Amino acid sequence: MKKKQQQQQHGGGGGCPDARPPAAAVAAGGGPGPGGGWRRRRPLSLLPFLSLRDYGFCMAALLLFCLGSLFYQLNGGPPHFLLDLRHYLGNSTYLDDHGPPPQKVLPFPSQVVYNRVGKCGSRTVVLLLRILSEKHGFNLVTSDIHNKTRLTKNEQMELIKNISTAEQPYLFTRHVHFLNFSRFGGDQPVYINIIRDPVNRFLSNYFFRRFGDWRGEQNHMIRTPSMRQEERYLDINVCILENYPECSNPRLFYIIPYFCGQHPRCREPGEWALERAKLNVNENFLLVGILEELEDVLLLLERFLPHYFKDVLSIYKNPEHRKLGNLTVTVKKTVPSPEAIQILYQRMRYEYEFYYYVKEQFHLLKRKFGLKSHIRKPRPRPEFFIPSPLETEEPIDDEEEDDEKWLEDIYKRNKSSLHNTAALTTEMRRQ
Protein backbone atom coordinates (compact mmCIF):
# COMPACT_ATOMS: atom_id res chain seq x y z
CA MET A 1 0.00 0.00 0.00
CA LYS A 2 2.79 2.37 0.87
CA LYS A 3 4.56 1.58 -2.35
CA LYS A 4 1.41 2.31 -4.33
CA GLN A 5 1.03 5.75 -2.74
CA GLN A 6 4.64 6.64 -3.67
CA GLN A 7 3.95 5.77 -7.27
CA GLN A 8 0.91 8.06 -7.32
CA GLN A 9 2.91 10.98 -5.89
CA HIS A 10 5.40 10.73 -8.75
CA GLY A 11 2.56 11.06 -11.26
CA GLY A 12 2.90 7.58 -12.51
CA GLY A 13 0.58 4.79 -12.11
CA GLY A 14 0.03 1.36 -13.41
CA GLY A 15 3.53 1.32 -14.88
CA CYS A 16 2.77 4.18 -17.31
CA PRO A 17 5.76 6.36 -18.32
CA ASP A 18 5.98 10.00 -17.10
CA ALA A 19 4.47 12.57 -19.46
CA ARG A 20 7.23 15.12 -20.29
CA PRO A 21 7.06 18.10 -22.62
CA PRO A 22 9.14 18.09 -25.75
CA ALA A 23 12.55 19.76 -25.71
CA ALA A 24 11.30 22.74 -27.80
CA ALA A 25 8.71 23.52 -25.16
CA VAL A 26 11.33 23.55 -22.46
CA ALA A 27 13.52 25.81 -24.48
CA ALA A 28 10.59 28.16 -25.04
CA GLY A 29 10.12 28.63 -21.32
CA GLY A 30 8.02 25.68 -20.31
CA GLY A 31 8.99 23.78 -17.22
CA PRO A 32 7.77 22.76 -13.86
CA GLY A 33 6.26 25.46 -11.80
CA PRO A 34 6.63 26.06 -8.12
CA GLY A 35 3.84 23.62 -7.40
CA GLY A 36 5.28 20.97 -9.63
CA GLY A 37 2.96 21.91 -12.60
CA TRP A 38 3.88 23.28 -16.04
CA ARG A 39 3.76 27.09 -16.86
CA ARG A 40 1.79 28.35 -19.87
CA ARG A 41 3.90 29.64 -22.74
CA ARG A 42 3.91 33.50 -23.26
CA PRO A 43 2.87 34.49 -26.79
CA LEU A 44 5.58 35.86 -29.08
CA SER A 45 5.67 39.70 -29.07
CA LEU A 46 7.77 42.65 -30.28
CA LEU A 47 7.92 43.86 -26.66
CA PRO A 48 8.48 40.68 -24.66
CA PHE A 49 9.03 42.65 -21.45
CA LEU A 50 5.48 44.14 -21.51
CA SER A 51 2.40 42.37 -20.42
CA LEU A 52 -0.79 42.47 -22.42
CA ARG A 53 -2.16 44.98 -19.98
CA ASP A 54 0.84 47.29 -20.42
CA TYR A 55 0.68 46.90 -24.17
CA GLY A 56 -2.99 47.89 -24.18
CA PHE A 57 -2.25 50.99 -22.08
CA CYS A 58 0.40 52.14 -24.58
CA MET A 59 -1.98 51.71 -27.51
CA ALA A 60 -4.66 53.68 -25.67
CA ALA A 61 -2.18 56.52 -25.00
CA LEU A 62 -1.17 56.58 -28.67
CA LEU A 63 -4.81 56.70 -29.74
CA LEU A 64 -5.41 59.58 -27.31
CA PHE A 65 -2.44 61.49 -28.77
CA CYS A 66 -3.72 61.01 -32.32
CA LEU A 67 -7.18 62.21 -31.36
CA GLY A 68 -5.68 65.23 -29.62
CA SER A 69 -3.65 66.10 -32.71
CA LEU A 70 -6.78 65.76 -34.83
CA PHE A 71 -8.70 68.14 -32.58
CA TYR A 72 -5.78 70.59 -32.72
CA GLN A 73 -5.87 70.63 -36.49
CA LEU A 74 -9.65 70.91 -36.75
CA ASN A 75 -10.11 73.64 -34.15
CA GLY A 76 -7.06 75.71 -34.99
CA GLY A 77 -5.54 75.19 -31.58
CA PRO A 78 -5.03 72.65 -28.83
CA PRO A 79 -8.13 71.12 -27.22
CA HIS A 80 -9.01 72.14 -23.68
CA PHE A 81 -8.28 68.76 -22.19
CA LEU A 82 -4.72 68.92 -23.53
CA LEU A 83 -4.33 72.37 -22.02
CA ASP A 84 -5.63 71.03 -18.75
CA LEU A 85 -3.22 68.12 -19.04
CA ARG A 86 -0.35 70.51 -19.60
CA HIS A 87 -1.44 72.50 -16.56
CA TYR A 88 -1.59 69.33 -14.55
CA LEU A 89 1.81 68.12 -15.66
CA GLY A 90 3.38 71.56 -15.28
CA ASN A 91 3.62 74.70 -17.39
CA SER A 92 7.32 74.42 -18.19
CA THR A 93 8.06 73.70 -21.84
CA TYR A 94 11.15 74.17 -24.03
CA LEU A 95 10.07 77.65 -25.11
CA ASP A 96 9.37 78.56 -21.48
CA ASP A 97 12.84 77.45 -20.44
CA HIS A 98 14.84 78.63 -23.46
CA GLY A 99 12.62 81.32 -24.98
CA PRO A 100 11.75 81.75 -28.66
CA PRO A 101 14.54 81.81 -31.25
CA PRO A 102 16.32 85.19 -31.19
CA GLN A 103 14.92 87.73 -33.65
CA LYS A 104 16.96 90.25 -35.64
CA VAL A 105 17.64 93.20 -33.38
CA LEU A 106 16.76 96.40 -35.25
CA PRO A 107 18.48 99.67 -34.41
CA PHE A 108 16.45 102.67 -33.41
CA PRO A 109 15.53 104.28 -35.63
CA SER A 110 15.36 101.56 -38.27
CA GLN A 111 13.70 103.75 -40.94
CA VAL A 112 15.71 106.75 -42.18
CA VAL A 113 14.99 108.97 -45.19
CA TYR A 114 17.55 111.31 -46.73
CA ASN A 115 15.53 113.43 -49.20
CA ARG A 116 18.69 115.05 -50.44
CA VAL A 117 18.65 118.65 -51.69
CA GLY A 118 20.36 119.15 -55.05
CA LYS A 119 23.76 120.86 -55.03
CA CYS A 120 24.16 120.36 -51.26
CA GLY A 121 26.76 117.63 -50.92
CA SER A 122 24.55 114.67 -51.69
CA ARG A 123 27.01 113.00 -54.07
CA THR A 124 29.65 112.95 -51.37
CA VAL A 125 27.19 111.65 -48.77
CA VAL A 126 25.72 108.96 -51.06
CA LEU A 127 29.22 107.76 -51.88
CA LEU A 128 29.90 107.45 -48.15
CA LEU A 129 26.58 105.65 -47.63
CA ARG A 130 27.49 103.01 -50.20
CA ILE A 131 30.65 102.23 -48.26
CA LEU A 132 28.87 102.31 -44.90
CA SER A 133 26.01 100.06 -46.02
CA GLU A 134 28.48 97.29 -46.81
CA LYS A 135 30.42 97.91 -43.62
CA HIS A 136 27.44 97.96 -41.23
CA GLY A 137 24.91 95.82 -43.12
CA PHE A 138 21.99 98.23 -43.41
CA ASN A 139 19.76 98.40 -46.48
CA LEU A 140 20.60 101.40 -48.68
CA VAL A 141 17.54 102.02 -50.86
CA THR A 142 17.91 104.30 -53.87
CA SER A 143 15.49 105.25 -56.63
CA ASP A 144 15.63 104.95 -60.40
CA ILE A 145 13.72 108.25 -60.68
CA HIS A 146 16.00 111.29 -60.47
CA ASN A 147 14.01 114.13 -62.00
CA LYS A 148 10.73 114.22 -60.08
CA THR A 149 10.58 115.93 -56.70
CA ARG A 150 6.89 116.97 -56.80
CA LEU A 151 4.48 114.04 -56.74
CA THR A 152 0.76 113.54 -57.19
CA LYS A 153 -1.27 111.97 -54.40
CA ASN A 154 -1.17 108.54 -56.06
CA GLU A 155 2.56 108.84 -56.64
CA GLN A 156 3.07 109.73 -52.99
CA MET A 157 1.07 106.69 -51.87
CA GLU A 158 3.00 104.39 -54.18
CA LEU A 159 6.40 105.72 -53.11
CA ILE A 160 5.53 105.57 -49.41
CA LYS A 161 4.33 101.98 -49.84
CA ASN A 162 7.58 101.00 -51.58
CA ILE A 163 9.70 102.65 -48.92
CA SER A 164 7.73 101.20 -45.98
CA THR A 165 8.01 97.63 -47.29
CA ALA A 166 11.81 97.78 -47.64
CA GLU A 167 13.85 95.47 -45.44
CA GLN A 168 14.78 97.17 -42.19
CA PRO A 169 17.01 98.77 -41.14
CA TYR A 170 16.96 100.87 -44.27
CA LEU A 171 18.11 104.30 -45.39
CA PHE A 172 16.19 105.64 -48.39
CA THR A 173 17.67 108.46 -50.45
CA ARG A 174 16.27 110.41 -53.37
CA HIS A 175 15.78 113.99 -54.57
CA VAL A 176 12.18 114.44 -53.42
CA HIS A 177 10.24 116.99 -51.42
CA PHE A 178 9.17 116.05 -47.90
CA LEU A 179 6.65 113.18 -47.69
CA ASN A 180 4.17 112.88 -44.82
CA PHE A 181 3.97 109.12 -44.21
CA SER A 182 1.42 109.41 -41.41
CA ARG A 183 -1.03 111.09 -43.78
CA PHE A 184 -1.30 107.81 -45.68
CA GLY A 185 -1.33 105.55 -42.62
CA GLY A 186 2.39 104.71 -42.61
CA ASP A 187 5.01 104.94 -39.87
CA GLN A 188 6.79 108.26 -40.09
CA PRO A 189 10.53 107.67 -40.64
CA VAL A 190 13.35 109.81 -39.34
CA TYR A 191 14.51 112.43 -41.84
CA ILE A 192 18.01 113.83 -42.31
CA ASN A 193 19.27 116.43 -44.80
CA ILE A 194 22.00 118.96 -45.62
CA ILE A 195 21.62 122.45 -47.08
CA ARG A 196 24.05 125.19 -48.04
CA ASP A 197 24.26 128.92 -48.71
CA PRO A 198 21.46 129.56 -51.27
CA VAL A 199 23.51 131.73 -53.65
CA ASN A 200 26.39 129.24 -53.60
CA ARG A 201 23.93 126.49 -54.42
CA PHE A 202 22.45 128.51 -57.28
CA LEU A 203 25.86 129.31 -58.82
CA SER A 204 26.94 125.66 -58.64
CA ASN A 205 23.70 124.69 -60.34
CA TYR A 206 24.01 127.36 -63.04
CA PHE A 207 27.53 126.43 -64.16
CA PHE A 208 27.16 122.69 -63.66
CA ARG A 209 24.29 122.56 -66.14
CA ARG A 210 26.50 124.25 -68.72
CA PHE A 211 29.98 122.87 -68.17
CA GLY A 212 29.73 119.95 -65.75
CA ASP A 213 32.56 118.94 -63.43
CA TRP A 214 35.59 116.65 -63.74
CA ARG A 215 34.14 114.90 -66.78
CA GLY A 216 34.84 118.00 -68.86
CA GLU A 217 32.89 120.43 -70.96
CA GLN A 218 32.71 118.23 -74.06
CA ASN A 219 31.15 115.37 -72.16
CA HIS A 220 28.55 117.63 -70.60
CA MET A 221 27.64 119.11 -73.99
CA ILE A 222 26.83 115.59 -75.11
CA ARG A 223 24.67 115.09 -72.02
CA THR A 224 22.72 118.34 -72.60
CA PRO A 225 22.35 118.52 -76.39
CA SER A 226 19.08 120.48 -76.20
CA MET A 227 20.80 123.50 -74.66
CA ARG A 228 21.49 126.15 -77.27
CA GLN A 229 24.95 127.66 -77.48
CA GLU A 230 23.76 131.16 -76.58
CA GLU A 231 22.09 129.71 -73.49
CA ARG A 232 25.14 127.64 -72.55
CA TYR A 233 27.46 130.64 -72.68
CA LEU A 234 24.97 133.15 -71.29
CA ASP A 235 26.73 135.53 -68.91
CA ILE A 236 25.58 135.07 -65.34
CA ASN A 237 25.22 138.81 -64.81
CA VAL A 238 22.99 139.15 -67.87
CA CYS A 239 20.85 136.27 -66.66
CA ILE A 240 20.36 137.91 -63.26
CA LEU A 241 20.07 141.58 -64.23
CA GLU A 242 17.72 140.94 -67.17
CA ASN A 243 15.58 138.62 -65.10
CA TYR A 244 15.86 135.43 -67.15
CA PRO A 245 13.55 132.61 -65.89
CA GLU A 246 16.52 130.55 -64.70
CA CYS A 247 17.73 133.43 -62.52
CA SER A 248 14.39 134.48 -61.00
CA ASN A 249 11.52 133.04 -59.02
CA PRO A 250 10.08 130.47 -58.79
CA ARG A 251 13.26 128.74 -59.97
CA LEU A 252 15.25 130.40 -57.19
CA PHE A 253 12.79 129.10 -54.59
CA TYR A 254 14.49 125.70 -54.38
CA ILE A 255 15.54 124.62 -50.86
CA ILE A 256 12.36 125.34 -48.86
CA PRO A 257 10.07 122.93 -50.81
CA TYR A 258 12.30 120.00 -49.76
CA PHE A 259 11.20 120.68 -46.18
CA CYS A 260 7.76 122.18 -46.72
CA GLY A 261 6.34 119.15 -48.53
CA GLN A 262 4.07 118.26 -51.44
CA HIS A 263 1.36 120.90 -50.88
CA PRO A 264 1.00 123.23 -53.94
CA ARG A 265 1.62 126.26 -51.73
CA CYS A 266 5.02 124.85 -50.81
CA ARG A 267 6.23 125.89 -54.27
CA GLU A 268 5.10 129.49 -53.86
CA PRO A 269 7.71 131.82 -52.30
CA GLY A 270 6.18 133.23 -49.12
CA GLU A 271 5.71 133.05 -45.38
CA TRP A 272 3.34 130.06 -45.48
CA ALA A 273 5.87 127.74 -47.11
CA LEU A 274 8.68 129.11 -44.92
CA GLU A 275 6.84 128.49 -41.65
CA ARG A 276 5.69 125.04 -42.67
CA ALA A 277 9.27 124.12 -43.60
CA LYS A 278 10.48 125.27 -40.17
CA LEU A 279 7.75 123.24 -38.49
CA ASN A 280 8.72 120.08 -40.36
CA VAL A 281 12.39 120.61 -39.49
CA ASN A 282 11.47 120.73 -35.80
CA GLU A 283 9.05 117.80 -35.84
CA ASN A 284 10.32 115.35 -38.47
CA PHE A 285 14.05 115.91 -39.07
CA LEU A 286 16.60 114.41 -36.72
CA LEU A 287 19.32 116.60 -38.20
CA VAL A 288 19.59 119.25 -40.91
CA GLY A 289 23.24 120.09 -41.39
CA ILE A 290 25.18 122.83 -43.14
CA LEU A 291 27.46 121.84 -46.03
CA GLU A 292 30.00 124.51 -45.06
CA GLU A 293 30.53 122.52 -41.84
CA LEU A 294 30.31 119.03 -43.34
CA GLU A 295 32.76 117.37 -40.95
CA ASP A 296 30.67 118.46 -37.98
CA VAL A 297 27.55 117.19 -39.77
CA LEU A 298 29.15 113.76 -40.22
CA LEU A 299 30.30 113.74 -36.60
CA LEU A 300 26.76 114.41 -35.35
CA LEU A 301 25.30 111.80 -37.69
CA GLU A 302 27.76 109.29 -36.29
CA ARG A 303 26.57 110.09 -32.75
CA PHE A 304 22.85 110.12 -33.56
CA LEU A 305 22.76 107.15 -35.96
CA PRO A 306 25.75 104.92 -35.11
CA HIS A 307 24.22 101.87 -36.81
CA TYR A 308 24.40 103.79 -40.08
CA PHE A 309 27.24 106.29 -39.76
CA LYS A 310 29.81 104.72 -37.43
CA ASP A 311 33.36 105.55 -38.66
CA VAL A 312 31.99 107.88 -41.36
CA LEU A 313 34.36 110.69 -40.42
CA SER A 314 37.45 108.51 -40.67
CA ILE A 315 36.32 107.25 -44.09
CA TYR A 316 35.62 110.80 -45.24
CA LYS A 317 39.07 112.00 -44.12
CA ASN A 318 40.83 109.16 -45.91
CA PRO A 319 43.09 110.80 -48.54
CA GLU A 320 41.97 108.44 -51.29
CA HIS A 321 38.33 109.19 -50.61
CA ARG A 322 38.91 112.94 -50.47
CA LYS A 323 40.74 112.77 -53.79
CA LEU A 324 37.74 111.14 -55.45
CA GLY A 325 35.27 113.47 -53.71
CA ASN A 326 37.04 116.57 -55.00
CA LEU A 327 36.46 115.41 -58.58
CA THR A 328 32.91 116.81 -58.34
CA VAL A 329 34.05 120.45 -58.40
CA THR A 330 32.12 122.48 -60.97
CA VAL A 331 34.31 123.91 -63.73
CA LYS A 332 34.33 127.38 -65.35
CA LYS A 333 32.56 128.99 -62.41
CA THR A 334 32.69 132.78 -62.36
CA VAL A 335 31.67 135.32 -59.74
CA PRO A 336 28.67 137.61 -60.41
CA SER A 337 28.98 141.33 -59.90
CA PRO A 338 28.08 142.89 -56.52
CA GLU A 339 24.93 144.33 -58.06
CA ALA A 340 23.85 140.88 -59.32
CA ILE A 341 24.63 139.32 -55.95
CA GLN A 342 22.47 141.88 -54.18
CA ILE A 343 19.56 141.21 -56.55
CA LEU A 344 19.89 137.46 -55.93
CA TYR A 345 19.88 138.05 -52.20
CA GLN A 346 16.64 140.03 -52.45
CA ARG A 347 14.97 137.42 -54.64
CA MET A 348 16.03 134.64 -52.29
CA ARG A 349 15.17 136.33 -48.99
CA TYR A 350 12.89 133.47 -47.90
CA GLU A 351 15.58 130.95 -48.77
CA TYR A 352 18.08 132.89 -46.65
CA GLU A 353 15.70 133.23 -43.74
CA PHE A 354 15.28 129.47 -43.76
CA TYR A 355 19.03 128.91 -44.20
CA TYR A 356 19.92 131.11 -41.21
CA TYR A 357 17.23 129.45 -39.09
CA VAL A 358 18.64 125.98 -39.86
CA LYS A 359 22.18 127.23 -39.30
CA GLU A 360 21.25 128.62 -35.89
CA GLN A 361 19.60 125.34 -34.87
CA PHE A 362 22.63 123.41 -36.10
CA HIS A 363 25.01 125.56 -34.03
CA LEU A 364 22.83 125.12 -30.94
CA LEU A 365 23.05 121.36 -31.44
CA LYS A 366 26.81 121.54 -31.84
CA ARG A 367 27.20 123.49 -28.62
CA LYS A 368 25.02 120.95 -26.81
CA PHE A 369 27.48 118.21 -27.81
CA GLY A 370 30.56 120.29 -27.12
CA LEU A 371 31.50 121.15 -30.72
CA LYS A 372 32.82 124.63 -31.41
CA SER A 373 31.19 126.64 -34.20
CA HIS A 374 33.47 128.72 -36.35
CA ILE A 375 31.21 131.65 -37.21
CA ARG A 376 32.68 134.12 -39.66
CA LYS A 377 32.03 137.82 -39.40
CA PRO A 378 29.57 138.93 -42.09
CA ARG A 379 31.21 140.49 -45.13
CA PRO A 380 29.53 142.46 -47.92
CA ARG A 381 30.24 140.19 -50.89
CA PRO A 382 32.01 136.93 -49.99
CA GLU A 383 29.16 135.92 -47.67
CA PHE A 384 27.14 134.99 -50.76
CA PHE A 385 29.52 133.67 -53.36
CA ILE A 386 32.70 132.19 -51.90
CA PRO A 387 32.54 128.47 -52.75
CA SER A 388 32.57 125.84 -50.05
CA PRO A 389 35.82 123.96 -49.32
CA LEU A 390 34.37 120.85 -50.96
CA GLU A 391 32.06 121.40 -53.89
CA THR A 392 29.54 118.58 -54.26
CA GLU A 393 27.18 119.15 -57.12
CA GLU A 394 23.77 117.83 -58.14
CA PRO A 395 21.70 118.57 -61.25
CA ILE A 396 18.64 120.78 -60.93
CA ASP A 397 15.16 119.44 -60.41
CA ASP A 398 13.71 119.69 -63.91
CA GLU A 399 16.85 118.51 -65.71
CA GLU A 400 18.16 116.02 -63.17
CA GLU A 401 20.68 113.64 -64.64
CA ASP A 402 20.93 109.95 -63.94
CA ASP A 403 24.02 109.89 -61.74
CA GLU A 404 23.56 106.42 -60.24
CA LYS A 405 25.96 104.85 -62.74
CA TRP A 406 28.44 107.63 -62.12
CA LEU A 407 28.20 107.02 -58.38
CA GLU A 408 28.61 103.29 -58.93
CA ASP A 409 31.83 103.83 -60.91
CA ILE A 410 33.19 106.24 -58.31
CA TYR A 411 32.24 103.82 -55.53
CA LYS A 412 34.05 100.91 -57.19
CA ARG A 413 37.10 103.08 -57.82
CA ASN A 414 37.08 104.33 -54.24
CA LYS A 415 36.70 100.81 -52.85
CA SER A 416 39.63 99.61 -54.95
CA SER A 417 41.79 102.54 -53.84
CA LEU A 418 41.00 101.96 -50.17
CA HIS A 419 41.81 98.27 -50.58
CA ASN A 420 45.16 99.06 -52.21
CA THR A 421 46.00 101.53 -49.45
CA ALA A 422 45.23 98.93 -46.78
CA ALA A 423 47.37 96.32 -48.58
CA LEU A 424 50.29 98.76 -48.85
CA THR A 425 50.03 99.59 -45.14
CA THR A 426 50.07 95.91 -44.23
CA GLU A 427 53.13 95.30 -46.42
CA MET A 428 55.00 98.21 -44.81
CA ARG A 429 54.24 96.83 -41.35
CA ARG A 430 55.63 93.46 -42.36
CA GLN A 431 58.84 95.07 -43.57
Distance of CA 16 to the CA centre of its chain: 101
How many whole angstroms separate alpha carbon 271 and alpha carbon 260?
Answer: 11
Residue 252: what residue type? L
Residues in Cβ contact with 25 at an 8 Å cutoff, skipping those fewer than 6 apart? 41
SS3 25: helix
| Terminal-residue alpha carbon distance, the chain | 120
Give the strands of the sheet with 111-114, arranged side by side.
Answer: 139-141, 170-173, 111-114, 190-195, 285-290
Q: Which of 80, 136, 175, 307 is catalytic?
A: 175
| CA distance to 10, 12, 32, 35, 38, per residue, from 16 (Å) | 11, 6, 20, 22, 19
CA dihedral 387, 327, 113, 274 (to 10 degrees): 20
Q: Does 80 participate in catalysis according to the annotation? A: no
| Cα separation, 173 vs 166, whole angstroms | 13
Active site residues: 175
